[in-house]
């Protein structure tokens, strides 16, 4: 094996015939023996080899895995049982583990006589959600002290894919120019795009992808994510009244703004911001943006946000480069921005005099709404609109634009103004009416706004729900808006501590990824590992998207800079509380397995989010205190904010009924699906 490696490396060329011959040889070697060293060597020692047209999630480890799979899957009859050790790789660019081998097992539970499904190291507990494309399960990672994770199981192909394939001429030859959607089928393309997007993301207010289990021999792809135990944000009662207090809504908004700001910096337009895609952590202190199923990567936006020198190589991933999706109507109708549902046949200046059934009689709105003459560009501003619709929903328990049919909703979004009820939030604060500064007027300077909650939030809403995308408020302005910073002791501190650059400093350096890779991949093959790493370094030149020189950091910025992302998030929150006793010393790169200490569950729960920046020492922040004060449903109703299944999962986990005291590996049955 070593001789081959040396030979390829020295010659530097790559004859296809040699490749075919080699594949034939490799196919006869048990797959467990050829991974991962050979597959890696195949790629890195063949720099001239063109990337195959069906590069999937784009980053080279997947490409590598595809090559390995091409070889491995040629021996389709290999028994699953003989596969040997799991084949997992860390993607050095983002730390997400890519596993291209699935082992299905099951175990009967001694207590309830349930059968536990096990996929690789993940023990499946309960289904916590079901989306359009797949199901999401609560699972536990047996290799990480039974840490809870969410596993999204998605079928590669669905019925519509098959129908589409039948309609197309399936025998047309593939060329490098064949669109990826045609090569992969639209469902698989969507999953791979979602994965490629999620792999780029690492932020405290964005759900983190931990592992992708993608075995070409199975029809499902598994996305292992951090588990958000608090479930979706519940925002309205059955009778369409708000469920959240106004200050709770503001805290949620602050988290979402920070998450969105990061997404946009990464060039990602989420396209489906709505309460159902905002998930609470188990302690309900932090909200994270989830569901990137219809998200799009915009290279132009990434360039504009990050600057040329800061673009990573994986930003040119072919699956991400397809921006044609942007013009398509995707997302949830009531949250769509006017520029998405633009209709050129409509008059461009529309006089509307609509009043919603919820508006007060003093608010007979007469307004001239201008829609642009030309089809406006679809940009990240659509997320800001959707955020505005979300804010409206959280405040009032209803949505600003509604109608009976989808077509009618789009017309309302394009042409009509919105109105407001007299009160907002569960605490029924007065709104003061839709136009605090007079009908149609919006002060240029926030300081001229009346200093009331109602006047400020109306101003923010009217800037978010601005029909002309070019005039819509930017996220940076939203962050500084007086309603967003209203209850902060020091808005300047908050703005400084939540600066985007602070998260970007957490990007792993080459040294960290190198050590992470060598500890995971090449512990048993150091020489090959070193050679591969040095080749990779040449292939992926060092970029400037790294920590800026330390002398420019102020003291607060220093906190958490070297920590592993999950810990750093907490450190950032600890910093925001200003409580130095919570600060965690640096442990160096936690990516180096076994080094540094992982935080205990108690520590994780103790940490606070930006939400509670005002929490006073000794008085723990409790965003859900309202549930206990008698005016609102009692503690048991607290569970109403969880999905039924999540509540069920929680109580079963608490009672211990779904986790035996010991975990004997009884009756491991391989049930390949």
Ligand X SMILES: Nc1ncnc2c1ncn2[C@@H]1O[C@H](COP(=O)(O)OP(=O)(O)OP(=O)(O)O)[C@@H](O)[C@H]1O
- Does position 129 interact with ligand X (CB under 6 A)? The reply is yes
C-alpha–C-alpha distance, residues 657 and 508, integer Å: 40
Pinpoint the alpha helices (H) of 144-288.
159-167, 180-184, 186-199, 246-265
Give the nearest distance from C-beta 131 to ligand X in angstroms: 2
Minimal distance in Å, beta carbon 542 to ligand X?
Answer: 33
If one asks whether residue 209 binds ligand X (CB under 6 A), the answer comes out as no
Pairing verdict, β 104-108 and 88-90: unpaired
Find the binder of ligand X among 207, 260, 263, 570 (CB under 6 A): 207
Tell me the per-residue interface mask from 418 to 457 with ligand X, x by CB under 6 A, - otherwise.
Answer: ----------------------------------------
Q: Tell the residue number behind the tokens 């390829």, with chain if given.
A: 8
Smallest distance from ligand X to CB 94, Å:
17
C-alpha Rg value of the chain to the nearest Å: 26
Residue number, 32 or 643, with CB nearest to ligand X: 643
Residue with smaller CB distance to ligand X, 130 or 583? 130
Catalytic residues, which ones? 272
Q: Which residue has the tokens 């005291």?
A: 661
φ, ψ of residue 130 in degrees (nearest 5):
-140, 125
Q: Is 128 in the site for ligand X (CB under 6 A)?
A: yes
| Category of 436 on φ-ψ map: left (φ > 0), alpha (ψ -120 to 50) or beta | alpha
Q: Cα–Cα distance between 179 and 448 in angstroms, integer? A: 53
Q: Which residues contact 357 (CB under 8 A, 6 or more apart)?
A: none
The two structure tokens encoding residue 391? 């804010």
How many angstroms separate the CA atoms of 597 and 584, rounded?
10
C-alpha to C-alpha distances, 222 to 13, 62, 170, 660, nearest whole angstrom: 36, 15, 27, 25
Q: Which stretch binds ligand X (CB under 6 A): 126-134, 384-392, 477-485, 595-603?
A: 126-134
Considering the complex, state which of residue 272 and residue 339 has its C-beta at the smaller distance from ligand X: 272
**CA 199/CA 212 separation, integer angstroms:** 9
Closest listed residue to residue 265, CA positions, set 198, 311, 319, 317: 311
If one counts every other C-beta atom within 10 angstroms of the C-beta of residue 598, the result is 15
Q: How far is CA 377 from CA 335, 336, 468, 472, in A?
A: 17, 14, 10, 13
Interface pick for ligand X out of 66, 91, 188, 232 (rule CB under 6 A)? 232
Using the minimum distance from each CB to ligand X, give the nearer residue, 270 or 502: 270
Contact code string over 463-502 relative to ligand X, x by CB under 6 A: ----------------------------------------
In the window 629-658, what residues touch ligand X (CB under 6 A)?
643
The footprint of ligand X on this chain (CB under 6 A) covers a number of residues equal to: 22
β-bridge partners, 232: 279
Minimum distance from residue 227 beta carbon to ligand X (Å): 5
User: In which element (H, E) is residue 137 found?
Assistant: strand 134-141
CB-wise, 276 or 413, nearer to ligand X?
276
Q: Which is nearer to ligand X, 231 or 508 (CB)?
A: 231
Half-sphere exposure of 438 (CA within 13 A, CB side): 3
152 is in an annotated binding site: yes
| Using rule CB under 6 A, residue 278 touches ligand X | no
Q: How far apart are CA 396 and CA 390, in angstroms?
A: 10
276 binds ligand X (CB under 6 A): yes
* Interacting positions 148-177 with ligand X (CB under 6 A): 150, 152
Among the residue ranges 224-232, 533-541, 591-599, 615-623, the one whose residues contact ligand X (CB under 6 A):
224-232
290 binds ligand X (CB under 6 A): yes
- Asked if residue 293 binds ligand X (CB under 6 A), the reply is yes
Note whether 589 and 517 are within 8 A (CB): no
DSSP line for 290-316: ---TT-EE-HHHHHHHH-GGG--GGGG
Single residue of 72, 212, 228, 273 touching ligand X by CB under 6 A = 228
By the rule CB under 6 A, 508 interacts with ligand X: no
Which range touches ligand X (CB under 6 A), out of 89-97, 130-138, 580-588, 617-625?
A: 130-138
Question: Which residue of 123, 140, 247, 291 would you call a contact of ligand X, by CB under 6 A?
Answer: 291
Residues 618 and 607: their CA atoms lie apart, in Å, by 14
The SS3 of residue 436 is coil
Please report whether residue 225 would count as binding ligand X according to CB under 6 A.
yes
204 belongs to the binding site for ligand X (CB under 6 A): no
Site membership for ligand X, residue 279 (CB under 6 A): yes
Cβ nearer to ligand X, comparing 191 with 567: 191
Residue 223 as a binder of ligand X (CB under 6 A): the answer is no
Q: Which residues bind ligand X (CB under 6 A)?
A: 128-129, 131-134, 136, 150, 152, 207, 225-228, 231-232, 276, 279, 290-291, 293, 643
Q: Which residues are annotated as a binding site for ATP?
A: 152
């Amino acid at each position: 094996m070593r001789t081959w490696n040396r030979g390829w490396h020295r010659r530097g060329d790559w004859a296809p015939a040699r490749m075919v011959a080699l594949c034939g040889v490799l196919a006869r070697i048990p797959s467990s023996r050829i991974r991962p060293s050979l597959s890696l060597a195949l790629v890195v020692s063949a720099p001239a080899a063109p990337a195959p047209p069906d590069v999937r999630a784009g980053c080279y480890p997947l490409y590598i895995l595809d090559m390995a799979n091409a070889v491995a899957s040629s021996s389709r009859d290999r028994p699953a049982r003989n596969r040997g050790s799991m084949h997992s790789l860390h993607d050095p660019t983002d730390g997400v583990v890519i596993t291209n081998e699935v082992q299905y097992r099951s175990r009967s539970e001694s207590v309830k006589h349930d059968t536990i499904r096990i996929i690789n190291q993940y023990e499946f507990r309960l289904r916590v959600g079901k989306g359009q494309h797949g199901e999401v399960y609560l699972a536990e990672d047996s290799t990480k002290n039974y840490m809870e994770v969410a596993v999204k199981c998605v079928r590669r192909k669905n019925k519509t894919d098959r129908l589409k394939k039948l309609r197309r001429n399936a025998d047309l030859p593939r060329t490098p120019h064949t669109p990826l959607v045609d090569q992969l089928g639209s469902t698989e393309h969507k999953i791979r795009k979602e994965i490629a997007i999620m792999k780029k993301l690492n932020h405290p207010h964005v759900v983190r992808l931990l592992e992708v289990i993608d075995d070409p021999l199975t029809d499902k792809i598994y996305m292992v994510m951090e588990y958000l135990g608090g479930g979706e944000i519940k925002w309205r009662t059955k009778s369409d009244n708000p469920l959240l207090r106004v200050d709770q809504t503001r805290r949620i908004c602050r988290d979402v703004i920070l998450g969105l700001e990061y997404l946009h910096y990464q060039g990602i337009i989420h396209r489906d911001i709505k309460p159902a895609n905002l998930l609470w952590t188990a302690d309900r202190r932090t909200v994270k943006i989830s569901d990137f199923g219809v998200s799009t990567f915009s290279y132009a936006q990434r360039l504009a946000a990050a600057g040329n020198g800061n673009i990573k190589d994986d930003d040119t991933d072919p699956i991400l480069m397809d921006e044609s999706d942007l013009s398509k109507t995707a997302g949830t109708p009531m949250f769509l921005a006017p520029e998405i549902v633009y209709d050129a046949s409509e008059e461009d200046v529309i006089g509307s005099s609509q009043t919603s059934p919820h508006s007060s009689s003093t608010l007979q709105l007469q307004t001239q709404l201008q829609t642009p003459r030309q089809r406006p560009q679809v940009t990240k501003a659509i997320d800001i609109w959707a955020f505005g619709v979300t804010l409206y929903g959280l405040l009032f328990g209803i949505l600003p634009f509604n109608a009976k049919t989808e077509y009618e909703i789009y017309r309302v979004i394009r042409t009509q103004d919105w109105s407001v009820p007299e009160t907002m939030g569960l605490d029924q604060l007065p709104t003061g009416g839709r136009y605090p500064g007079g009908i149609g007027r919006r002060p240029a300077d926030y300081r001229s706004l009346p200093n009331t909650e109602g006047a400020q939030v109306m101003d923010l809403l009217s800037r978010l729900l601005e029909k002309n995308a070019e005039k819509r408020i930017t996220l940076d302005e939203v962050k500084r808006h007086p309603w967003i910073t209203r209850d902060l002791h020091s808005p300047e501190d908050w703005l400084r501590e939540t600066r985007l650059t602070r998260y970007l400093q957490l990007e792993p350096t080459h040294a960290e990824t190198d050590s992470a890779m060598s500890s995971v991949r090449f512990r048993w093959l150091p020489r090959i590992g070193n050679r591969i790493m040095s080749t990779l370094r040449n292939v992926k030149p060092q970029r400037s998207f790294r920590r800026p020189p330390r002398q420019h950091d102020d003291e607060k910025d220093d906190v958490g800079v070297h920590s592993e992302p999950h810990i750093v998030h907490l450190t950032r929150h600890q910093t925001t509380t200003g409580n130095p006793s919570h600060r965690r010393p640096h442990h160096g790169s936690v990516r180096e397995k076994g080094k540094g200490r992982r935080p205990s569950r108690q520590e994780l729960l103790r940490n606070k989010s930006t939400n509670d920046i005002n929490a006073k020492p000794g008085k723990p922040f409790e965003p859900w205190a309202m549930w206990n004060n008698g005016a609102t449903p009692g503690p048991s109703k607290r569970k109403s904010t969880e999905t039924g299944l999540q509540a069920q999962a929680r109580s079963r986990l608490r009672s211990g009924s779904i986790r035996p005291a010991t975990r004997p590996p009884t009756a491991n049955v391989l049930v390949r699906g």
